[in-house]
Amino acid sequence: MYAGPAGDDNEDKRRFTFALWADMPYSADESAKIPAFTADINDSKVAFSVFGGDIKSGSTLCTNDVFTTAIDRFNAFEAPMIYVPGDNEWTDCHRTNNGGYNNLERLDFLRATMFATPQSFGQRQLMLEHQGPLGGAYSENTRWTYGNVVFTGLNIPGSNNNKVNGADCSKKSVRTPADCAADNVEYAARDAANITFMRSSFAMARATGALGLVIIIQADPSFDLPETENANERTCIRAPQGYCLSTTDVTLAGYDGYNAFIAALTAETTSFNGQVVLVHGDTHFFKVDKPLVDQAHLIPNFTRVQTFGSPNVQWVRVTVDPKSRNLFTFEPMIVGAGGKKEDGD
């Protein structure tokens, strides 16, 4: 089920690069930039690319042809191209300006269209492991290995991971209370499946002696909050005094759909000897940092990478070097900026 270099020690020690991009194109102007963008990645000779969700903007129609266009775009890449779903192509499709679709029907269509085969997109393809049956529930959760690194893509989209709270149900939406109840049932089941698959990826990384694990999701799970000593801002930011000392005091509305995932990610990362990278889009600004803490202490082997997004049609090159103390190096790649081109693979 897994593809990529495997076998002898020399391959496990080989340096390679891959590309990250997401949240684009959102307009005709951005679409016009995609051919040059694609050529730039192709010229860089990366081992593969990963698109982290949002194949369209959040205010355009969720029509079937959006997926057809995305498939054509992905298959223009010479190297394998792996797709991870975003909120704009299913979670938010209930919005009136998206056409008022049933977003769970859109999720079913996404799975049947984008995950009907075991391979990635691209002119060269990777075989991927899928959590669920092809085209069915959780088939969008994928895993592969390359070199001595395990990669996994999870369906964790923006818009609070499809968890609906109160008045958000009918805001700019055609959803009924029954629709929102169904969304919350879907959220709970998928959240549990995501965590199970993530944990199995950590287990695989430990069992195989992998040097690193890369997790790709679309949602920004709200790392960027004010920092308060002895407090967890994800649960405390809305307390009356502006902070809290107990994580049971207040839940951060709009982000509580990520709480269980973050808790599981923290626990798995702290018990893993290798490097862990969480890649996400959603916020559209490039950033690399170490925002994950445990008992107010930095988790040193965890790195967050936030990718570019609309209106910035740019990408991130990641170099994996088993001989480097950091294993991963992240470079913003500005298309058309000039400079020396380097082969990445």
pLDDT digits (tens, 9 = 90+) for 109-154: 999 999 999 999 999 999 999 999 999 999 999 999 999 999 999 9
Residue range 203-228: mean pLDDT, rounded: 88
pLDDT value at position 2?
28
Judged against a pLDDT cut of 70, whether residue 246 lies above it is answered with no
pLDDT value at position 340?
55
pLDDT value at position 233?
54
Q: What percent of the chain has pLDDT over 90?
A: 78
**8 A C-beta contact, residue 146 and residue 48:** yes
pLDDT value at position 339?
57
Would you give the DSSP letter of residue 100?
-
Judged against a pLDDT cut of 70, whether residue 228 lies above it is answered with no
> What domains are there in the chain, each with its CATH number?
9-333 (3.60.21.10)
* Confidence tier at 255 by pLDDT (50, 70, 90): confident
* Confidence tier at 258 by pLDDT (50, 70, 90): very high
pLDDT value at position 198?
99
| CA distance linking residue 250 with residue 51, whole number of Å | 34
Judged against a pLDDT cut of 50, whether residue 265 lies above it is answered with yes
**Burial class of residue 29, CB neighbours in 10 A (0-12, 13-18, 19+):** exposed
| CA distance linking residue 10 with residue 152, whole number of Å | 23
pLDDT tens digits along 46-67: 999 999 999 999 999 999 999 9
Judged against a pLDDT cut of 60, whether residue 242 lies above it is answered with no
Residue 10: what are its φ and ψ, rounded to 5°? -60, -40
Q: What percent of the chain has pLDDT over 70?
A: 85
**8 A C-beta contact, residue 160 and residue 255:** yes
Question: The whole model's pTM is what?
Answer: 0.90
pLDDT value at position 244?
41
pLDDT value at position 344?
56
pLDDT value at position 336?
82
| CA distance linking residue 131 with residue 15, whole number of Å | 28
pLDDT tens digits along 271-312: 999 999 999 999 999 999 998 887 677 899 999 999 999 999
pLDDT tens digits along 166-208: 888 988 999 999 999 999 999 999 999 999 999 999 999 999 9
Would you give the DSSP letter of residue 173?
B
| Angle at CA of residue 92, ends 86 and 98, nearest 5° | 115
Mean predicted lDDT score pLDDT of the chain: 89
Would you give the DSSP letter of residue 103?
H
Q: Which residues of 118-134 are buried (b: 16+ CB within 10 A; e: fewer)?
A: bebbbeebbebbbbeee
